[in-house]
Amino acid sequence: MDRGKSKFLGMRNNKMYMDLSEIIREHALPFLPAKSLFRFLSVCRDWKLQISTPFFAHNQSICCGSTLGFFSQAPGEPPSIVSDDPRACGVPDPFLRFLPEPVDIRSASNGLLCCQSQTGNKAYYICNPVTKQWKRLPKPNANHGLHPAVVLIFEPSRLNFEADYKLVCAFPSADFDDATEFEIYSSKEGSWKVSGEIRFTAYSVDPKSGVHVNGVVYWKSRGLLAYDLSKDRSQLLQSYQSGNWVLGSMNGMLCSAYASGRSIIVQVLANVHTNTMQMSSHARMWEEKQRVTLDKEVVGGVASDPVVVVANGNKLLVQMAKKLYVYNLLTKETKALGMPPSTGGDTRYIPYVNSLVCL
């Protein structure tokens, strides 16, 4: 009797293990970053087969959208990557030596990077640094200048098995003084197209500030320059922020972040119509969401003169006293990343999602 009962319990436990393994494989693995998944290839044969399929890569590119790392690059130097979770986020070659020539990273979106060659005809490349897949884009119709204000837009979709992305560039008009035009590359069309939209403004855009949120691309200018892809329309928004502030995306909303004394203030775009409102209106363009301070036990004292270099998702990348810190807006946790990979004064940091997306 005891032997039969033991056999029954063993069969039930084995079934429970199989059910749990299947649940993890089907419903948990797609939410993990690429570096973690590569470690799990050796867990068992079934997991290896599951992770290696193109369908799984497509599913993971949709499910895993958290920012776990930041590409950094100083002018004239190769790129590198920093992360607050290096065990989970990483790429085989952070220097991007798999590309045919040295490049500057211009933009990133959901696992894809937009790079531009440092020499020659300044060709654009789209690549996934995890899989080392890359594509060279055709030459644009317009002159984008030495420091192009390009923004890569890639929104993973279950309906599109192949990556469908766009590249938007705001460039100084060659035909009109004090004017900005827009050129868009579509992976679906495989070509560039200059928009008919022209925004007359004497102020140029900050080429490193571009952010895409819900079909609209924003750049810092004298205020904000916004370009709506679906409507093919632009708008200049008056934003009276000064000092060292950055644009980002948070919970599907445009956000800005800047240091004020020892605090960091995070705001979201609340009203794009302040330009046309009456002077007596109390409506504000930005709405303050959080006011945070770095953990003094992590930074080694009270935070002084912090500089926000990235605001993306629920994370702030902050530089202070020649060291980098990540602040998580959800957990309120401060993590020290140490010294920056480069000591260059013009180092750029770009948020990165560790994705298996296929090009």
Ramachandran class of 338: left when φ > 0, alpha when ψ lies in -120 to 50, beta otherwise: left
The pLDDT, as a whole number, for residue 56 is 86
Q: Which residues of the chain have pLDDT under 50?
A: 1, 8-12, 15-17, 275-282
pTM summary value: 0.88
CB 295 within 8 A of CB 334: yes
Q: Buried b / exposed e across 151-177, counting CB within 10 Å, b at 16+? A: bbbbbbeeeeeebebbbbbbbbeeeee
Please state, in angstroms and rounded to a whole number, the distance separating the CA atoms of residues 44 and 357. Answer: 23
> SS3 of 126, please?
strand
Bridge partner residues of 265 (DSSP): 258, 291
The pLDDT, as a whole number, for residue 11 is 46
Please state, in angstroms and rounded to a whole number, the distance separating the CA atoms of residues 222 and 178. Answer: 13
Q: What angle is formed at CA 358 by the lines to CA 356 and CA 359, rounded to 5 degrees?
A: 140
Ramachandran class of 198: left when φ > 0, alpha when ψ lies in -120 to 50, beta otherwise: beta
The pLDDT, as a whole number, for residue 25 is 66
- Give the tokens for residue 222: 């004298």
CB 339 within 8 A of CB 325: no
The residues, ordered by sequence, that sit 6+ positions from 292 with a Cβ below 8 Å of its Cβ are: 263, 264, 266, 316, 327, 329, 332
Please state, in angstroms and rounded to a whole number, the distance separating the CA atoms of residues 359 and 345. Answer: 34
